[in-house]
Every structure is written in C-alpha cells, then in structure tokens.
C-alpha cells in the first residue's frame, strides 16, 4: 500500500522506532512493557512505546506538582503567549499530525486535518480567554464592605482521552487548563499512543524554547490500570475522561470516593428528526456524513433517523441511494469517504449489532459486511449499513461505535418525534431538519430535546469550539471547549473586604463584647 508520506510525517513529529511512554517536558523515562501501535489502515506497525509503571507515574506527579507552583504564578496573559506559540507549532505541523491521526486512528485525512484545526482553534480561543478569567463584584449588605469572587488554578488536571479523537479532545482540555494556570497529566488511548507522543513532543518544544519548567505538560501511557493512577490520586483534583458510559461510571465513582471533581464526556445515541417541512437534500448530506464520518466512531455520530410517515419512503430512498455512492478504503486517499474501524474488536461489535437488529425484527436496507481482499488486509474495513427498526429495540437503545444507521418512523406532530428522540439513556447531540419555525422552536424549547447539543438544519456531528461541548443523562453532564467551560478547571473563591474601623456582622447579628 502507498505510504502517503507517513514516514516523513513520523520524522517531522519526532517519533522514533521505540518511544518513551512517560514524559515530562523534554525529559522522558519509562520502564514499563512495550506497547505496539498497528494501523487499522493496512495493519502495519507504526511504532512502539513504553507503558508507564507506578514508579514512573510517581516521578511524573512529583515533577508536575513542582511545575504547578511556578506555572500558576505566571500571569494569565503571559500563559496565553505560550499557548499562542503552541498553536503556531500546530500550524507548522498540521499536515504531519493530520496524517498520523488518519493513519493511526483510521479517519479520513480531511477529518485528521480537521482535528488538528480544532486544536489550533482552541489555542486561539484560550489566548483570548487569558484576559477574560473574570469573576463578579457584588454589593455587600454591610456598610464599608466590598464583595467579589475570583478564580484560582486547581493544580494537576488528569486527562483520559479516547481513540476516536486522539488529539483534539486532549487539546480542548489542555489549552484551557494551561490558561487557567493548571498543569496536565494525560493518558491517551492505548489504541492511539503515537498521536499522544507526537503532541507531547510538540508541546515540549514550546516549553523548552521558553525555558519553562518540566512538568507543565506530562504524558503517561498504558491501559485502564494506568488510568486508575489518576482516578485514585488525591493530588489530582480534576479528572477529565472521555469514553464509554461504562468507563465513565467507573471513573465517576472512584473520583467521587475521594471527593474529587470529574468532567465526563461519554456515549451518545444521537438522532436527527426529519419533519414534512425538511429540505431533503440537506437532510441526506447531514445524515450521511453524521452516520459514516469517522466510520461511525464519533460520540456525536448519527445513530437514528426519525422520519415522519408522510415522507418516510422519500427520505429512505434518497439515503439508500446516497450510500451507494460511498467509497471505502485507505483514508489517506482523499477519493475515499470511509476508512476502517479502529480494530477487529470494533468489527465484531459491528457485526453483532447487525445480527441483533435482525433478530429483534428489523430489516436491513443497505447490507453491511466485512471487506476483504486487496486494500482491506487489516480486516478492519466494513460497509456502512442501514436498518429499519423500532426505537424500542434493545440494540437501538445502545450505542454501537460503528457505521450502523437506524431508520425510525413517527406519526402525528413533532412532539411525538421529540419523545422518541429523548427515549434513550444517552443525551449528547440531536438535530431537527425542518423549515417550520414552530417545529424548530418546539425542538429547542424546555419541553424539546433533552440533549446537551440541539441543532436545527445541520447534523449531529461537527461541533465548533466556541460553544460548550457535552451532554446529559448517561453522556455524563460535563462541558468542554468553549463558552464558560473554563470554570471547571479552576476553584472559585468569594472574598469580602472590610475597609472600615467597625466589624458589623451579616444578617444584622449583634455580638458585643
């Protein structure tokens, strides 16, 4: 299979044959077992990285804690200058990092570039935010007193990220945490460790060039047992975790047991409602990209299409026709629309889901299947599938991280469609396709979508960094990226100043001596 410049990209990103998996700034040390990273694109081993032992982790925490003492004292606008430089490094290495993301994770090259652009965008957002970490000033009930609130850094922020966005989600958390004066310890997915090492190398360049202490940016590698170092550590006041609902429940319990804070971005079971007033062409574009983009491995992927009975056959025919035009293959070849799943375990879950929907009474409209032969040697390529189903099916109630789209029919008005959409345990992203203002407003109202993201006339995936990203119910309730999501990375403090010679008490209480 053609190289597509992968070897040059690895060189630009400072990746070696064997990479140290524990890193603090420019210093690397690891003593754990070797983790081999294989590309789902062609089955080739990309590189090796050492996992983090408990002893390694203790050295990381010691270095990170010491760095925090210095980093928090640096004025936020000056921290912003460091983030600006990091964003510039990302611009320089965008093509190389985008290729690595595509090759190690399997998403299309355009999506890989888009993920790096998200990193750049959150850096730009964070630079502006560095001069806006403001609190409120309040009037006191006591004469000669002033009240206000301010925000201070938390300390060491733990980040556990998933394979599907191997670099962007880390950057969402890290850029804001750095701006807030925190330092970070990151455990990337063991399925995409080379992307983590590449980001660490880029960040280390910036901190070294500015003579900043090691430990502001830290990397640890390994499986869930390495993640437990963070979740159980009282020195880590906040753990931000992205992944499955099952994983999130474990993290939430362990962090809560020590009264720490957790920021959870978990599973999605996202739907697009298609009303009689929908633009069919827009609907097809939004639904197809939402369902097959990243081979259905986004937490915001479109899983369900809830279509009004009056246009059901029209939409079904258009969607099925569009699927017939999809090209599946090497994601670095920009002629292809769909790349591989992350590994053969994901393929197994995909085939099990299709078997399950048929067993429950569903009808397959676009046949799925595992692809083999030339170009598909990794065994990770599958055909995007469509099935007619009922929202009550057990398989429809669960998230399958693969390109499987369920078509559901609704009758009556839009409130019935909204009820169907909300009748799942997850609550991340949602959308409605309609040119009817009343339907759109009903969808966005207090009685409308119960998801953290609700869109009108766009799909469920493709969030911008300016808005807070996250969901409700079993999606975890956390918020990352834009708006005021920065506040979770800081501790709030209320201050009252008495500038008189008297000491009046609140609520008019008298206490004379």
pLDDT of 275-330, one tens digit each?
Answer: 999 999 999 999 999 999 999 999 999 999 999 999 999 999 999 999 999 999 99
With a CB cutoff of 8 Å and minimum separation 6, the contacts of 453 are: 300, 428, 429, 430, 460, 463, 469, 471
pLDDT recorded at residue 399: 97
pLDDT recorded at residue 111: 97
pLDDT recorded at residue 31: 83
Q: Find the catalytic residue in 299, 451, 474, 480.
A: 299
- CB 379, CB 372: distance < 8 Å: yes
Enumerate residue ranges in the chain where pLDDT < 70: 1-2, 26
Question: What's the rounded Cα separation, in Å, for the pair 360 and 353?
Answer: 11
Dihedral, CA of residue 160, residue 161, residue 167 and residue 170, to nearest 10: -40
- CB 426, CB 473: distance < 8 Å: yes
Return the SS3 of 387. strand
Span 35-50, pLDDT tens digits: 999 999 999 999 999 9
**Catalytic site residue 299?**
yes
pLDDT recorded at residue 26: 66
Q: How many CB atoms lie within 10 A of CB 33?
A: 10
Q: How does DSSP classify residue 385?
A: E
Q: Which helix (H) or strand (E) holds 431?
A: strand 429-433
- CB 330, CB 4: distance < 8 Å: yes
Name the residue among 22, 66, 86 with its Cα closest to residue 155. Answer: 66
- Exposure string for 49-86, b = 16+ CB within 10 A, e = fewer: bbbbbeebbebbbebbeebbeebbeeebeebbebbebb
In 140-210, which ranges are E strands? 145-153, 156-160, 183-187
pLDDT recorded at residue 28: 75
Return the SS3 of 207. helix
**Catalytic site residue 265?**
yes
Cα angle vertex 433, ends 428, 436, to 5°?
Answer: 125
Dihedral class, residue 243 (left if φ above 0, else alpha if ψ from -120 to 50, else beta) = left
Q: Find the catalytic residue in 265, 399, 439, 474.
A: 265
Tell me, letter by letter, the H, E, C secondary structure of 67-80: HHHHHCCCCHHHHH
**Phi and psi at residue 454, to the nearest 5°:** -135, 115
């Amino acid at each position: 299979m053609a190289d597509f410049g992968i070897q040059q990209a690895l060189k630009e990103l400072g990746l070696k044959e064997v990479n140290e998996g524990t890193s603090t700034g420019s210093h690397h040390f690891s003593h754990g077992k070797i983790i081999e990273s294989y590309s789902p694109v062609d089955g080739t081993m990309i590189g090796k990285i050492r996992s983090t032992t408990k002893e390694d982790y203790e050295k990381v925490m010691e270095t990170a804690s010491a760095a925090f003492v210095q980093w928090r004292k640096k004025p936020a606008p000056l921290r912003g200058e460091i983030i600006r430089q990091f964003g510039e490094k990302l611009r320089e290495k965008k093509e190389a990092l985008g290729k690595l993301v595509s090759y190690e994770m399997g998403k299309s090259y355009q999506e890989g570039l888009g993920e790096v652009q998200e990193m750049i965008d959150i850096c730009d957002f964070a630079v502006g935010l560095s001069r806006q970490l403001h609190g409120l000033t309040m009037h006191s009930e006591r004469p000669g007193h002033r009240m206000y609130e301010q925000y201070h850094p938390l300390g060491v922020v733990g980040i556990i990220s998933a394979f599907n966005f191997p670099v962007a989600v880390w950057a969402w958390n890290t850029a804001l945490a750095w701006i807030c004066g925190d330092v970070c310890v990151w455990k990337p997915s063991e399925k995409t460790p080379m992307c983590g090492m590449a980001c660490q190398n880029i960040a280390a360049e910036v901190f070294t060039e500015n003579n900043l202490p090691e430990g502001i940016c830290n990397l640890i590698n390994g499986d869930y047992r390495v993640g437990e170092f963070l979740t159980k550590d009282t020195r880590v006041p906040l753990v931000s975790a992205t992944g499955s609902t099952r994983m999130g429940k474990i993290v939430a319990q362990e962090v809560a047991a020590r009264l720490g804070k957790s920021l959870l971005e978990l599973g999605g079971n996202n739907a697009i409602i298609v009303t009689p007033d929908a633009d069919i062409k827009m609907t097809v574009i939004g639904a197809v990209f939402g369902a097959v983009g990243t081979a259905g491995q986004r937490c915001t992927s479109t899983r369900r299409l809830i279509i009004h009975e009056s246009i059901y056959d029209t939409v079904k025919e258009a969607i099925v026709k569009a699927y017939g035009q999809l090209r599946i293959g090497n994601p670095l070849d920009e002629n292809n629309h769909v790349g591989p799943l992350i590994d053969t375990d994901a393929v197994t879950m995909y085939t099990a889901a299709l078997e399950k929907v048929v067993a429950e009474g569903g009808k397959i409209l676009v046949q799925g299947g595992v692809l083999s032969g030339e170009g598909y040697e990794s065994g990770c390529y599958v055909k995007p599938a469509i099935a007619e189903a009922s929202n009550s099916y057990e398989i429809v109630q669960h998230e399958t991280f693969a390109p499987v789209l369920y078509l559901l029919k609704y009758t009556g008005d839009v409130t019935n469609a909204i009820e169907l959409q909300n009748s799942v345990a997850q609550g991340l992203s949602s959308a409605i396709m309609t040119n009817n203002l009343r339907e759109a407003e009903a969808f966005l109202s207090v009685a409308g979508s119960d998801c953290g993201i609700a869109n009108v006339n766009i799909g469920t995936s493709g969030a911008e960094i300016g808005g807070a990203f996250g969901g409700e119910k079993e999606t975890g309730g956390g918020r990352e990226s834009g708006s005021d999501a920065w506040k979770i990375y800081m501790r709030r403090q209320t201050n009252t100043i008495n500038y008189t010679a008297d000491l009046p008490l609140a609520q008019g209480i008298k206490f004379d001596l």
